[in-house]
Amino acid sequence: DNMLESSEKMPWFKGWTIERKEGKVEGKTLIDALDAIMPPQRPTDKPLRLPLQDVYKIGGIGTVPVGRVETGILKPGMVVNFAPVNLVTEVKSVEMHHEALPEALPGDNVGFNVKNVAVKELRRGYVAGDSKNCPPKGASDFTAQVIVLNHPGQIANGYTPVLDCHT
């Protein structure tokens, strides 16, 4: 009931309302609610940041780092910088699901072929960025907002949690 169309079996349910900058949105069904979800803004205006999930050597192609574009845009022909090793190379091609892309946007999981780089030179966790626009670099420290999902009762002096940072 109230999935695709309003139901007479639920007279107590008056519907739902969302207040947004663009105006008020309301509906009575689940499909109305799903249709009202606004897609997130993709941060294409920020510098490229692509943390590497893995690196492959593909016969006849070469070295192919794989990861998800977090910010910015990745395009063939770009010169990228891998942090923290400061390795600079050119992107030969960008692919998603075995199809060549003219560009990869935030949220895209892609593989990209790089020129003259051995698989052993790149590792999971390295971050690719545009060498000409705020290239990524290592940090000796950073400030983070942390949510502890599981902890042993109380967090007390001597508690040593493990912090996984992206990859």
Domain that holds residue 94: 50-130
54 and 126 share one domain? yes
Note the pTM of the prediction, 2 decimals. Answer: 0.75
Residues 115 and 91 in one domain: yes
pLDDT for residue 167 = 63
CATH code assigned at 96? 2.40.30.10
End-to-end CA distance of the chain: 42
In a domain, 143, yes or no: no
The closest of 130, 82, 76 to 104, measured between CA atoms, is 76
Q: How many separate domains does the chain show?
A: 2
Does 61 reside within a domain?
A: yes
Mean pLDDT, rounded, for 101-106: 97
Instruction: Report the percent of the chain where pLDDT is more than 70.
Output: 99
55, 124: one domain? yes
Give the model confidence (pLDDT) of 30-74 as tens digits.
999 999 998 888 999 999 999 999 999 999 999 999 999 999 999
Are 88 and 81 within 8 A, CB to CB?
yes
